[in-house]
Structure 1
Amino acid sequence: MTLAKAQPILEAREVTRTFRSGRRCITALASVNLAIFHDGVVGLIGPDGAGKTTFMRLAAGLLRPDSGEIRIQGVSTRDQALTIQSRIGYMPQRFGLYTDLTVRENLDLYADLQGVAPARRSARYDALMQMTGLGAFQRRLAGKLSGGMKQKLGLACTLVQPKELLLLDEPTVGVDPVSRRELWQIIDRLVEQEQITVLLSTAYMDEAERCRYVFVLNNGCVLSHGEPQALCSRMQGHGYAASAPGMHRRALQGHLVRAPGVLDAVIEREWLRVVTEPTLTPERLKGRAGVPGLELNPLPARFEDAFIAEFRAVSSRWRTTVSGWTPLQPDGGLETVIQVNALERRFGDFQAVRDLSFEVYRGEIFGLLGANGAGKSTTFRMLCGLLPPSSGELSVGGVDLRRASAAARARIGYVSQSFALYGQLTVTQNLRFFANIYNLRGGRRRERIDWALDGFELRALANVDAEDLSLGFKQRLALATALLHQPEILFLDEPTSGVDPLARREFWELINALAEYGVTVLVTTHFMEEADYCDRLVIMAGGQLLALGTPESIKRQVAGGRSELPSMEEAFITLVESPQEELR
């Protein structure tokens, strides 16, 4: 489909916007030109710090450009911001729901703010509740909704007054695959039934592939634009499913990701997805990899391949080395590090976790998955010693958390779901603070801080306040502080939520290396492709264990004898949506 040669609904002309952070001047957007027509869903794509959120806020009239202008339906946001805001819907990454108000009361509040006449509200509410599936929850407090339901309520509040243009800034960050699918069904219905044009930024490349048209930003500039299929076609013939008999996928990835001419090597399903430069033939790749029996089978191109190829050469890569940990001995046998037996947690009459049992071994990457509200975050907090269990047994590193949680916490590193560092401290001050917490002193303290600054590419940002970092660099800093004291066990609570694909890859390269050195990793994630990185995983629903096993065994459980295994996302959705007895 080609763009209509009509009046654009949104047009940016030479838009520049800068910010000051201490003595630094940051250019968020630099002479951006783009036009969006009535063309369904348009994607705004780019790595962390590319300028996506700044552009959204400028388009919504919440910021003024330093130079240039953005026009919505011919009206400039520079001097008619209030007019613009009455014509568009804007849903930021953290939409302002009022958690102590009910679903209906939130709708009423936003209807008041948007000037919706009382006589028109009932019909509009009914349509929005049917569209979002929230009709049965209108009396529930917004604070009691799951993450996915909150996002759907935020979207409904944005649309209490019908709009022609809807700006969505990463609306699916932090929601589970089921909720993400439901949000996209709502977006598709809005486009088809109400003829709304949607400008959507996203960190999910499969969502970018669903857009009619995409603009790719980098360092505040439009790097490329076009239909996703056209951008994707550039990589056709350069992707392979790689496998080698007797070699673990993580070990194979370690070989291939460093081979000259390889742009990308990620675990996907039961193989490794390898993307190469155009000049690298399969025969030459086999020679460079040096892996006996390496098999390469062609794969169709996808948009994420094009994204990685576009940005691999210009990204700032980590150089983190795993030093100080003792390599895991291959014949050392299984050593239980985390033991959970009949674990339960109640909040008054509500039982968040019930009869949960599993164990995690040394050097294992263990995934804890579940839909929003499944109880995994509560379980995670109990495992970290941040929340006492109501009943059951729980030990971490051989320490009973019911009796000696402080001793167990000294042996673990923790990266929280939300950025939990000190925003008004600089990068170096945060590292020094956590070094003190971990009782690092003298030369050891200096050595580990230097390791963090250099290995995570934070040296140039050492004097920048943590709150002024992009999301990707915030996550680098959070992981660096968690690893300062070289913990034996690492807890990661949705550590890559909202970061771009390049940052996710670098993050997992380090996690895989730590596991090879015997660090036990327990991770929660909503990226189902990341679940394939796990050695084993648990899927929870309603506070209970729904499935436990390797990614492949869980897929086979769902496949029901079919030869072709589903993806991890397909398996997750099937498990969560199906009555448990049907899958036994």
Structure 2
Amino acid sequence: MAAADTPLLFRAVSKSFARGSQRVQALDQIDLGLVPGTITALVGPDGAGKTTLLRLAAGLLRPDGGVVTVLGADLGSQGHSLQQEIGYMPQRFGLYEDLTVQENLDLYANLQEIRPEDASTRQQDLLKLTALGPFRTRRAGALSGGMKQKLGLACALLRAPRLLLLDEPTVGVDPIARRELWQIVQGLRDKGVTIFLSTAYFDEAERCDEIILLHQGKLLKKDTPKALSAPLQGRCYLVTDEFRSKRQLREALQARPEVQDARILAEGVRVLCRSGAAAAAEGERWQAVEPAFADAFVDLLSDPQENEAYHAEPPNQTPADGRPASRAETPETVVDVHDLGKFFGSFAAVKGTSFQVQKGQIFGLLGANGAGKTTTFRMLCGLLPASSGSLRVAGVDMRRASSQARARIGYVSQKFSLYGNLSCAQNLAFFSAAYGLRSSRRRQRIDWAQQEFQLHDYANVNVDELPLGIKQRLALACALLHSPPILFLDEPTSGVDPLARREFWQRITGLAEAGVTVLITTHFMEEAEYCDRLILMSLGEVLAQGSPEEIRSQARDAEHPSPSMEDAFIRLIEAHESQIRRAS
């Protein structure tokens, strides 16, 4: 293919950045080209160079070496004239939250020097494409996460670009919004737009025409999803067990030397072996399955030394023989919520929510953006007062004595609540002091956190400069410094790369086995399968609760005999919200 026909071409492109007295090589001699009218996925661990590569493609950075061309023209020398051919949507698109949807579109049209008469026609088309027409007078700050992403995409499309660059466009949005965004993206591809996007979702990568895999600034692989997974034929299996839960089975399988990876699915535990099938233990049933891109990603990038089984300590001191204390035979209720409500003025964010969580359970809260999950979390942690109902955490009435319960709670918020201008070590020191740790106990816990979460190499690096996966490790370490028996995790894996998510869940299941109670919100539906129980929320109400299997069964019918969790999520919420619209 001639360079002039290639929408984006990198020739020996390198880029480095200063970090203190050192320079970090973000990209190293990258050669790649995109095929016109296709969707290409850019995947890789945190810190692989994905955002740097997209910013170079958008002309926002200049390479240290090499050449970037767009539609045959050198981006370095002809960048200004090429801007109308490029649409770029960064991870955190700069919407002005005090402006309305229409005002944001007007502002970006003005910044891009689009004539008012042309802008008006284009905006009408984009409002229709993104289904934001009914919300054009709503403030951007009042939109849901998915609607904000669609508005950001509309702003990036104002010039009708031939090349569209999207940096994790679906991060932090629920499955319904993610599906809507993908319908828009695929529709643009069908109209001839070339799309280059980074993603943390394996299923999104598999929908693309090609995948580019980056690692440590180098291009590791570039091929179709099928070609990347084909070499793993005969190494992938679905394992079930008649005696053990999926979580217990996964832990047992992951500990075997011949098993490279094991992850929980709705049907059982998916296993990637280092070579053929491993020997089945009593009660296990092994079924060969087709390899997927997720398996190829793990095979190419996982480091056995970095992903050893995580042995979490229980919330109380370990007995002298080193074995965790056994769980009580009668389940102990740790969180008890009854008819919980929260109002902001006349708006009901949470309506009559009730549930219980037992000690040592992993309890998941699912729901669309704006469903009330984070508001519920903040009330349970004592960070927001409840408007009505009752809630007890660790035996304490949170409406009267929430400070007593906070000492027994660890909390990781969506944004991690770390101090960006402090180093990793300084954050650990601050949080240990805030939790009241002193002297040798404080030193012991900080040493434990640095060793257990592999933070020594980042001790003197400011948090703002850390890769997202390392920030996640640090946030979880800070939340566990005081050995809390209850852990609240609000979308802790949003935007984090797949290997970091895998490591994270290894830690969480270890904590639960040690007796820690974990409450978690997530938009990754495969993560819901790790939970013992779930509630599904919509518009502040609980639609369903139970085990993952019980939730999925509520979406089962003759047409969908084996719905996935994502299928159940979409069908149950869309049915509920359509009922609300008919009733209003």
Q: Could you say whether these structures have the same fold, taking a TM-score greater than 0.5 normalized by the shorter chain as the test?
A: yes
2: CA distance between counterparts of 1:446 and 1:321? 20
Q: Could you say what secondary structure the match of 2:36 adopts?
A: coil
Q: Contact (CA 8 Å) 2:334, 2:357: kept in 1 or not?
A: yes
Structure-1 separation of matches of 2:566 and 2:2: 35
Determine the C-alpha separation between the residues in 2 that align with 1:31 and 1:470: 21
Distance 1:358 1:561, change over 3 A: farther
Aligned to 1:94: 92
TM-score norm. by structure 1 comes to: 0.95
Whole-Å Cα distance in 1 between the matches of residues 308 and 393 of structure 2?
30
Residue 23 of structure 2 corresponds to: 25
Tell me by how many angstroms 1:456 deviates.
1.0
Structure 1 counterpart of 2:276: 280
Determine the structure 2 residue equivalent to 1:383. Answer: 380
Indicate the residue corresponding to 2:43 in structure 1: 45
Task: Report the Cα distance in structure 2 between the residues aligned to 1:427 and 1:563, rounded to whole angstroms.
Answer: 48
Code of the aligned partner of 1:295: R
**Which region of structure 1 is more displaced relative to structure 2, 200-209 or 377-386?**
377-386
Q: Does 1:155 align with 2:153?
A: yes
Alignment of 1:470-549 (within 5 A): 470-549=467-546
Q: How does 1:296-335 map to 2 (within 5 A)?
A: 296-313=286-303, 316-317=306-307, 320-326=310-316, 327=324, 329-335=326-332
Q: Measure the CA separation in 1 of the matches of 2:202 and 2:4.
A: 29
Which residue number in structure 1 is paired with residue 443 of structure 2? 446
CA apart distance, 1:280: 2.9
1:155 alignment partner AA: L
Q: What's the counterpart of residue 121 of structure 2?
A: 123
Contact 1:15 1:69 in 2 (8 A): yes
C-alpha distance in structure 2 between counterparts of 1:82 and 1:405, whole Å: 56
2:183 corresponding residue in structure 1? 185
Asked if 1 retains the 8 angstrom alpha-carbon contact of 2:239 and 2:271, the reply is yes
| Superposition deviation, residue 6 in structure 1 | 6.4
1:213 match: 210
Q: Distance in 2 between matches of 1:545 and 1:563?
A: 23
User: Contact between 2:58 and 2:86, CA under 8 Å: does it hold in 1?
Assistant: yes
Equivalent position of 1:76 in the other structure: 74
**Distance in 2, Cα, partners of 1:309 & 1:357:** 43
- Any stretches of 5+ residues in structure 1 without a counterpart? none
Deviations 1:403-461 (A, max 9, x none): 11111111011111113201111111110111101111122111111111111111111
| Equivalent pair of 1:319/1:455 in contact (CA under 8 Å) | no
Give the counterpart letter for 1:154 in structure 2. Answer: G
Residues 486-507 of structure 1 deviation map (CA, whole Å, 9 limit, x = unaligned): 1010000111111111111110
The CA deviation at 1:7 is 2.4
Q: Are 2:562 and 1:565 equivalent residues in the alignment?
A: yes
Work out whether residues 6 and 37 of structure 1, in 8 Å CA contact, stay in contact via their aligned partners in 2: no
Aligned to 2:320: none
Matched, 1:418 2:408: no
Contact 2:490–2:520 (CA under 8 A) maintained in structure 1: yes
Which residue number in structure 2 is paired with residue 336 of structure 1? 333
CA distance in 1 between partners of 2:432 and 2:205 (Å): 40
Contact 2:364 2:528 in 1 (8 A): yes
**What are the superposed Cα offsets for residues 513-572 of structure 1, whole Å, 9 maximum, x if unpaired?**
110111000000000000010000000001001111100011111114789421111111
Q: Which amino acid aligns with 1:306?
A: A
- Asked if the contact 2:364/2:534 (under 8 Å) is kept, the reply is yes
Distance 1:382 1:104 in 2: 34
Distance 1:235 1:507, change over 3 A: same
Tell me how far apart the structure 2 counterparts of residues 412 and 280 of structure 1 sit (CA, whole Å).
Answer: 44
Shift of 1:145: 0.3
Distance in 2, matches of 1:328 and 1:77, equals: 62
Q: Which amino acid aligns with 1:196?
A: V
Which whole-Å CA distance do the structure 2 matches of 1:360 and 1:105 have between them? 45
> 1:60, 1:84 within 8 Å by CA — same for their partners in 2?
no
Q: Match for residue 245 of structure 2?
A: 248
Query: Which of 166, 173, 191 is the equivalent residue of 1:168?
Result: 166
The number of equivalent residue pairs is 573
Task: Give the secondary-structure state (helix, strand or coil) at the position aligned to 1:413.
Answer: strand
Question: SS at the partner of 2:77?
Answer: coil
Q: Contact 2:416 / 2:492 at 8 angstroms: preserved in 1? A: no
Q: How far does the alpha carbon of each residue in 1:57-105 deviate from its partner, in whole angstroms, 9 at most, with x for none?
A: 1111111111112111222233333333332000000000011111111
Q: Deviations over 1:214-273 (max 9, x none)?
A: 111000000011111111212222211111112011111111112112121001003111
Which whole-Å CA distance do the structure 2 matches of 1:48 and 1:369 have between them? 25
In structure 2, C-alpha distance between the alignment counterparts of 1:375 and 1:125, rounded to whole Å: 31
Change over 3 Å in CA distance of 1:407–1:513 after alignment to 2: same
- Equivalent residue in structure 1 for 2:282, among 292, 295, 301: 292
User: CA 1:63 to 1:563, structure 2 compared with 1: closer, same or farther past 3 Å?
Assistant: closer
* Native 8 Å contact 2:341 2:348 kept in 1: yes
**Deviates most, 264-273 or 19-28:** 19-28
Once residues 119 and 336 of structure 1 are traced to their aligned partners in structure 2, the CA distance between those partners, rounded to angstroms, is 63
Over residues 118-137 of structure 1, what are the superposed CA-to-partner deviations in whole Å (9 max), with x where a residue is unaligned?
A: 21233212211111111111
Is the 8 Å Cα contact of residues 318 and 455 (structure 1) preserved in structure 2? no
Unaligned runs of at least 5 residues, structure 2: 317-323, 580-584
Taking structure 2 as the reference length, the TM-score comes to 0.95
Could you tell me the percent identity over the aligned residues? 53
The CA distance in 2 between the partners of 1:316 and 1:55, in whole Å, is: 26
Match of 1:132 in 2: 130
Whether contact under 8 Å (2:101, 2:136) holds in the other structure is: yes
Residue 79 of structure 1 aligns to a residue whose secondary structure is: helix
2:310–2:510 Cα contact (<8 Å) kept: no
- The 1:328–1:363 alpha-carbon spacing in structure 2 relative to 1, beyond 3 Å, is farther
Matched, 1:401 2:395: no
CA contact (8 A) 1:319 1:454 kept: no
Question: Structure 1: which amino acid aligns with 2:123?
Answer: Y
Q: In the aligned structure 2, how far is the partner of 1:126 from the partner of 1:15?
A: 39
Q: 8 Å contact 1:319–1:457 — kept in the other structure?
A: no
**Partner AA of 1:372 in structure 2:** N
